[in-house]
C-alpha cells in the first residue's frame, strides 16, 4: 500500500524496512543498535524515517540484554507495508509481539542437542576411566 507512505522521497520500487542500525557512538568494541524504520536503499546508519526502539547486544551487570520497542508505531509501519529484517523479527518474537521465529526454536534445539552430546561423551569418558582404573 504505497499510497499511505509519507512522501519524503520518490523511490522507484523502494520499500520501507524495520532494521537494526548501528548508533555510532564512535567507541570501538561497544556496539549499540537502534531499531529503525528506513527506506531499503538507504545506508545502514544513514537517514531513517523514524526510530522505533533500541537494542543493546552486550549484557549488563545483571546479565541482561536490554531491548525497547515502540509497539504503537511498529504497528503503524507494518500496516503501511514495512518488512522487518531477520534479527528484528527474532527480537520481536522473543518479546511476544510476533510469533516465535522458527530459527530461534531450531537453534535452541541444536544447542540443546549439542550440550546433551557433550554431556553423554563426558559420562562415557568417565565410565571408560573408571573401567581402566
Partner 1 sequence: MFQVIGGRSVQVTRLLAPRRAVLVEAVRGRKSRTDPVAKSKEGRIKVPPPVDPREMVVLKERFAEYQLITRALRLEFKEEVLRKKYEEETGSLAEERARQEAEEHCALMAFNNQENLRMLEVRTLRVQKEKEEAERKQVEASVQREQQQQEFIKEKEKDILKLQEDAKNFITLENLDRRIEDALDNPKNYNFAIDKEGRVVKQTMLQ
Interface residues with partner 1 (CB under 8 A)? Answer: 1, 4, 13, 15, 40, 75-76, 78-81, 83, 86, 89, 98-99, 101-102, 105-106
C-alpha cell at 56: 543493546
Residue 117, helix vs strand vs coil: helix
Q: How far is the CB of 101 from partner 1 (least distance, A)?
A: 7
Q: Which is nearer to partner 1, 107 or 122 (CB)?
A: 107
Helices 86-95 and 102-132, packing angle to 10 deg: 80
Buried residues in 34-58 as b, exposed as e (16+ CB within 10 A): bbbbbbeebeeeeebbebbbbbbee
C-alpha cell at 113: 542437542
Q: How far is the CB of 12 from partner 1 (least distance, A)?
A: 10
Q: Which is nearer to partner 1, 46 or 79 (CB)?
A: 79
Q: Which is nearer to partner 1, 116 or 122 (CB)?
A: 116
Output the CA torsion 35→40→42→44 (10° steps): 40
Q: Which is nearer to partner 1, 75 or 111 (CB)?
A: 75
Q: How far is the CB of 83 from partner 1 (least distance, A)?
A: 8
Amino acid at each position: 500500500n504505497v499510497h499511505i507512505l509519507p512522501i519524503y522521497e520518490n523511490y522507484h520500487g523502494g520499500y520501507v524496512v524495520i532494521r537494526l542500525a548501528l548508533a555510532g557512538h564512535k567507541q570501538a568494541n561497544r556496539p549499540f543498535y537502534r531499531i529503525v524504520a528506513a527506506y531499503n536503499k538507504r545506508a545502514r546508519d544513514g537517514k531513517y524515517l523514524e526510530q522505533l526502539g533500541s537494542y543493546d547486544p552486550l549484557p549488563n551487570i545483571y546479565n541482561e540484554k536490554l531491548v525497547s520497542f515502540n509497539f504503537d508505531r511498529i504497528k503503524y509501519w507494518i500496516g503501511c507495508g514495512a518488512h522487518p529484517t531477520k534479527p528484528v523479527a527474532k527480537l520481536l518474537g522473543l518479546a511476544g509481539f510476533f510469533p516465535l521465529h522458527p530459527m530461534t526454536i531450531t537453534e535452541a534445539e541444536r544447542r540443546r542437542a549439542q550440550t546433551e552430546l557433550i554431556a553423554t561423551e563426558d559420562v562415557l569418558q568417565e565410565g571408560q576411566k573408571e573401567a581402566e582404573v
